[in-house]
Chain A
Amino acid sequence: MSAQGAAHIKAICKAAGNDPARLMDIAIAVQKQLGAVSDTAIDLIATHLKIPRVDVDSLVTFYAFFSKTPKGRVIIRLCNDVVDQMNGAAEVAAALETELGIRFGETSPDGAISLEYAPCIGLSDQAPAALINDVPVTHLDSGKARHLAQLLKREGTQARLVKTFGDGNNAHDLIRSMVVNNIRETGPVILAPYTSGSGLKKALALSPAEVIRDIKTSRLRGRGGAGFPTGMKWDFTRQAGGDQRFIICNADEGEPGTFKDRVLMTECPDLIFEGMTIAGYAVGAAEGIFYLRAEYAYLEKFLTAILTQRRKAGQLGQTICGKAGFHFDIRLQMGAGAYVCGEETALISSCEGRRGDPKNRPPFPAQKGYKGCPTSVNNAETLCCVARILECGPGWFAAMGTKGSAGTKLLSISGDCARPGVYEVPFGVKVSDLLKKVGADHTAAIQVGGPSGRMIGPKEFNRIICYDDLSTGGSFILFNKGRNVVDIARQFMDFFVEESCGYCTPCRVGNVLLRNKLVEILAGHGALEDLAYLEELGRTTKLASRCGLGQTSPNPVLSTLENFRPAYEALFKKSRGHEPVLANFDLQAALSQGSILAGRASSIFTPVNGSQP
Chain B
Amino acid sequence: MSETFDFTLDGATVTAQSGETIMQAADRAGIYIPRLCAHKELHPFGACRICTVLVNGRPQSSCTQPAAPGIVVENDTEALRNVRKSLVEMLFVEGNHYCMFCEKSGLCELQALGYRFGLLAPRYPYQFPKREMDASHPDIFVDRNRCVQCARCVRASRELDHKTVFEFSGRGAHKAIAVNADARLADTDVNGTDRAIDVCPVGCLLRKRYGFRTPIGQRKYDHQPIGSDIEAGHPPAAVNG
Binding site for B on A (CB under 8 A): 39, 43, 52-55, 57-58, 61-62, 338, 355-356, 360, 362, 497-506, 508-510, 512-513, 516, 533, 536-537, 540, 543-546
Residues on B with beta carbons closer than 8 Å to the beta carbon of A510 = 90
Task: Decide yes or no whether B174 CB sits under 8 A from chain A.
Answer: yes
Task: Decide yes or no whether B192 CB sits under 8 A from chain A.
Answer: no
Q: Is the CB of B49 within 8 A of A544?
A: yes
Cα of A506 to Cα of B52 in the assembled complex, Å:
11
Q: Is the CB of B168 within 8 A of A355?
A: yes
Q: Is the CB of A506 within 8 A of B87?
A: yes
Cα of A42 to Cα of B165 in the assembled complex, Å:
16
Q: Is the CB of B83 within 8 A of A540?
A: yes
Binding site for A on B (CB under 8 A): 44-50, 52, 59, 61, 64-66, 82-83, 86-87, 90-91, 93-94, 123-125, 127, 148-149, 164-175, 178-182
Residues on B with beta carbons closer than 8 Å to the beta carbon of A500 = 171-173
Q: How far is the CB of B93 from chain A (nearest CB, A)?
A: 7
Name B172's contact: one of A57, A501, A506 (CB within 8 Å). Answer: A501
Q: How far is the CB of A356 from chain B (nearest CB, A)?
A: 8
Q: Is the CB of A58 within 8 A of B167?
A: yes
Cα of A545 to Cα of B168 in the assembled complex, Å:
19
Residues on A with beta carbons closer than 8 Å to the beta carbon of B123 = 533
Name A53's contact: one of B65, B90, B175, B181 (CB within 8 Å). Answer: B181
Known contacts A54-B178, A502-B170; A512 and B46 CB within 8 A of each other: no
Q: Is the CB of B166 within 8 A of A508?
A: no
Residues on A with beta carbons closer than 8 Å to the beta carbon of B168 = 58, 355, 502
Known contacts A505-B47, A509-B90; A52 and B173 CB within 8 A of each other: no
Q: How far is the CB of A401 from chain B (nearest CB, A)?
A: 28
Given contacts A58-B167, A61-B169, A500-B172, 7 further A-B pairs with CB under 8 A are: A338-B171, A505-B49, A513-B93, A537-B86, A543-B52, A544-B52, A546-B61
Cα of A55 to Cα of B127 in the assembled complex, Å:
28
Q: Is the CB of A504 within 8 A of B49?
A: yes
Q: How far is the CB of A265 from chain B (nearest CB, A)?
A: 26
14 sample A-B contacts, Cβ–Cβ < 8 Å, listed by A number: A54-B169, A54-B179, A497-B173, A500-B173, A502-B174, A504-B47, A508-B173, A509-B91, A509-B93, A509-B94, A516-B125, A540-B87, A544-B49, A544-B87
Q: Is the CB of A502 within 8 A of B83?
A: no
Q: Main SS of chain A's interface residues?
A: helix
Q: How far is the CB of B202 from chain A (nearest CB, A)?
A: 13
Cα of A497 to Cα of B171 in the assembled complex, Å:
10
Interface centre among B50, B172, B179 (most CB of A within 10 A): B172
Name B44's contact: one of A360, A501, A537 (CB within 8 Å). Answer: A360
Which of chain A's residues has its CB closest to B177's CB? A54
Q: How far is the CB of A496 from chain B (nearest CB, A)?
A: 9
Q: Is the CB of A57 within 8 A of B64?
A: no
Name A505's contact: one of B90, B127, B166, B172 (CB within 8 Å). Answer: B90
Q: How far is the CB of A190 from chain B (nearest CB, A)?
A: 33
Residues on B with beta carbons closer than 8 Å to the beta carbon of A43 = 182
Q: Is the CB of A506 within 8 A of B49?
A: yes
10 interchain residue pairs of minimum CB distance: A502-B175, A509-B90, A52-B164, A54-B180, A54-B167, A61-B169, A544-B49, A500-B172, A502-B172, A360-B64
Residues on A with beta carbons closer than 8 Å to the beta carbon of B127 = 512
Cα of A355 to Cα of B124 in the assembled complex, Å:
30
Q: How far is the CB of A542 from chain B (nearest CB, A)?
A: 9
Q: How far is the CB of B158 from chain A (nearest CB, A)?
A: 9
Cα of A545 to Cα of B61 in the assembled complex, Å:
9
Name A502's contact: one of B82, B91, B173, B182 (CB within 8 Å). Answer: B173
Cα of A536 to Cα of B83 in the assembled complex, Å:
9
Q: Is the CB of B49 within 8 A of A58?
A: no
Which of chain B's residues has its CB closest to A40's CB? B182
Residues on B with beta carbons closer than 8 Å to the beta carbon of A360 = 44-46, 61, 64
Residues on B with beta carbons closer than 8 Å to the beta carbon of A546 = 46-47, 49, 61
Q: How far is the CB of B171 from chain A (nearest CB, A)?
A: 5
Which of chain A's residues has its CB closest to B52's CB? A544
Interface centre among A52, A500, A510, A512 (most CB of B within 10 A): A52
Name A62's contact: one of B59, B91, B170, B182 (CB within 8 Å). Answer: B170
Residues on B with beta carbons closer than 8 Å to the beta carbon of A501 = 171-172, 175
Residues on B with beta carbons closer than 8 Å to the beta carbon of A536 = 86
Cα of A53 to Cα of B65 in the assembled complex, Å:
32
Cα of A502 to Cα of B49 in the assembled complex, Å:
12
Residues on A with beta carbons closer than 8 Å to the beta carbon of B180 = 52-54
Known contacts A53-B181, A355-B171, A508-B172; A502 and B149 CB within 8 A of each other: yes
Known contacts A54-B179, A57-B178, A504-B46; A362 and B66 CB within 8 A of each other: yes
Q: Is the CB of A513 within 8 A of B171?
A: no
Q: How far is the CB of B167 from chain A (nearest CB, A)?
A: 4
Known contacts A54-B164, A506-B87; A544 and B59 CB within 8 A of each other: yes
Residues on B with beta carbons closer than 8 Å to the beta carbon of A509 = 90-91, 93-94, 124, 173
Cα of A299 to Cα of B127 in the assembled complex, Å:
42
Name A499's contact: one of B46, B61, B172, B181 (CB within 8 Å). Answer: B172
Cα of A508 to Cα of B124 in the assembled complex, Å:
14
Q: Is the CB of A513 within 8 A of B124?
A: yes
Cα of A213 to Cα of B237 in the assembled complex, Å:
50
Which of chain B's residues has its CB closest to A503's CB? B47
Q: Is the CB of A498 within 8 A of B172?
A: yes
Cα of A485 to Cα of B228 in the assembled complex, Å:
48
Cα of A504 to Cα of B45 in the assembled complex, Å:
10
Q: Is the CB of B52 within 8 A of A58?
A: no
Residues on A with beta carbons closer than 8 Å to the beta carbon of B48 = 504-505
Q: Is the CB of B178 within 8 A of A58?
A: yes
Residues on A with beta carbons closer than 8 Å to the beta carbon of B46 = 360, 504, 546
Q: How far is the CB of B90 from chain A (nearest CB, A)?
A: 4
Cα of A516 to Cα of B126 in the assembled complex, Å:
11
Cα of A498 to Cα of B148 in the assembled complex, Å:
19
Q: Is the CB of A57 within 8 A of B90?
A: no
Residues on B with beta carbons closer than 8 Å to the beta carbon of A57 = 167, 169, 178
Residues on B with beta carbons closer than 8 Å to the beta carbon of A512 = 127, 173
Cα of A10 to Cα of B173 in the assembled complex, Å:
33
Which of chain A's residues has its CB closest to B170's CB? A61
Residues on A with beta carbons closer than 8 Å to the beta carbon of B44 = 360
Residues on A with beta carbons closer than 8 Å to the beta carbon of B178 = 54, 57-58, 61
Interface centre among A55, A513, A537 (most CB of B within 10 A): A513
Cα of A199 to Cα of B186 in the assembled complex, Å:
61
Residues on B with beta carbons closer than 8 Å to the beta carbon of A356 = 171
Residues on B with beta carbons closer than 8 Å to the beta carbon of A498 = 172
Interface centre among A52, A54, A338, A536 (most CB of B within 10 A): A54
Known contacts A52-B167, A499-B172; A39 and B47 CB within 8 A of each other: no
Residues on A with beta carbons closer than 8 Å to the beta carbon of B52 = 543-544
Residues on A with beta carbons closer than 8 Å to the beta carbon of B171 = 61-62, 338, 355-356, 500-502
Cα of A53 to Cα of B175 in the assembled complex, Å:
17
Residues on B with beta carbons closer than 8 Å to the beta carbon of A55 = 164, 167
Residues on B with beta carbons closer than 8 Å to the beta carbon of A516 = 125
Cα of A502 to Cα of B168 in the assembled complex, Å:
10
Which of chain A's residues has its CB closest to B89's CB? A509
Q: Is the CB of B169 within 8 A of A58?
A: yes
Cα of A53 to Cα of B91 in the assembled complex, Å:
28
Cα of A54 to Cα of B127 in the assembled complex, Å:
27
Q: How far is the CB of B16 from chain A (nearest CB, A)?
A: 15
Residues on A with beta carbons closer than 8 Å to the beta carbon of B45 = 360
Residues on A with beta carbons closer than 8 Å to the beta carbon of B94 = 505, 508-509
Q: How far is the CB of B77 from chain A (nearest CB, A)?
A: 12
Q: How far is the CB of A587 from chain B (nearest CB, A)?
A: 20
Which of chain A's residues has its CB closest to B179's CB? A54
